[in-house]
Amino acid sequence: MTPTNDWHSIIASESHLSPDAARQLRDIGFVVVPGPVVLGGCEQLSEAYDRAVATADPADMHTGRTRSSTRINDFVNRGPEFDGIYIYPPLLAACCQIIRGPFKLSGMRARTLNPGAPTERLHVDVKHRANGWPLVGCILMVDVFDSENGATRFVPGSHLQPPEPSEVMTNPQDAHEEQVLACGPAGSVIIFNASVWHSHGANRSARPRRSIQAHFVPREAQASPDDHSRRMRPETLQRISDLAKYVLNVGTSNKPMHATCEDARA
């Protein structure tokens, strides 16, 4: 057995989703679960998020053409408050279920949906059988997600069919008759098959709606353009566990030594 498979076997045996969450992920393409415990709670997470965004290099900031949202790349290196997200056991279990082989984090970033942002077009993050498929996405809710501030909408079961929304809908920005909103309190996590149709809703509230988003790909697939493996900070590598280094595909042998998935629960 190769070292990579050693780590993957440990993750597969020690990371678990509840039967109902696993069923939802398989059948409808997404699930909302309680998120990882953050030292200091949601208030500490919120403060760390704002601090990281305020001090980010402008080169890592992207607002898009409409400026309806702001993205900040490389949240792997933004502080210890974010270290538990990409090694959260239910998320790793979802990666095992969907990818069905060794995987890695492709990228993790912040996204703030600004007040007044319109509904985004329904889309998929990766097409069936395309390079990097299958892909797992997650969204950590820094703020509550509700119908007023642009909660993510999903079309249940759409990941089981090859067509993209643009191939069958006249206007993918329109409401879909089968869509549902993934709502939840701050600290919740949406885990989804990235081939499911989804998009954010309109932010009709007076406040920004903040989140941290991540994607996982097969181990051999190409990572996202903001690949963290090329810019790991020494303090991050010193701080994180061997499990985290394996998931990030940086700074350590793929062969497990002493650490296991218990690192994710510490």
Tally helices (H) and strands (E) across the chain.
7, 10
User: What is the per-residue pLDDT for 260?
Assistant: 44
- pLDDT tens across 4-13, in order? 568 999 999 9
Q: How confident is the model at residue 53 (pLDDT cuts 50, 70, 90)?
A: very high
Provide CATH code, domain 3-265.
2.60.120.620
Q: Which of 261, 266, 244 is nearest to 89 (CA)?
A: 261
| Statement: residue 142 has pLDDT above 90 | yes
Tell me the pLDDT tens digit for each residue of 200-216: 999 999 999 999 999 99
Per-residue confidence (pLDDT) for residue 265, from 0 to 100: 42
Name the band, by pLDDT with cuts 50, 70 and 90, for residue 263: very low
pLDDT averaged over the chain? 90
φ, ψ at 193 (rounded to 5°): -75, 120
pTM score? 0.91
Side-chain-facing half-sphere of 183: CA atoms under 13 Å: 8
Residues 6+ apart with CB under 8 A from 187: 34, 35, 38, 41, 42, 45, 140, 141
Calpha distance 169→159 (Å, rounded): 16
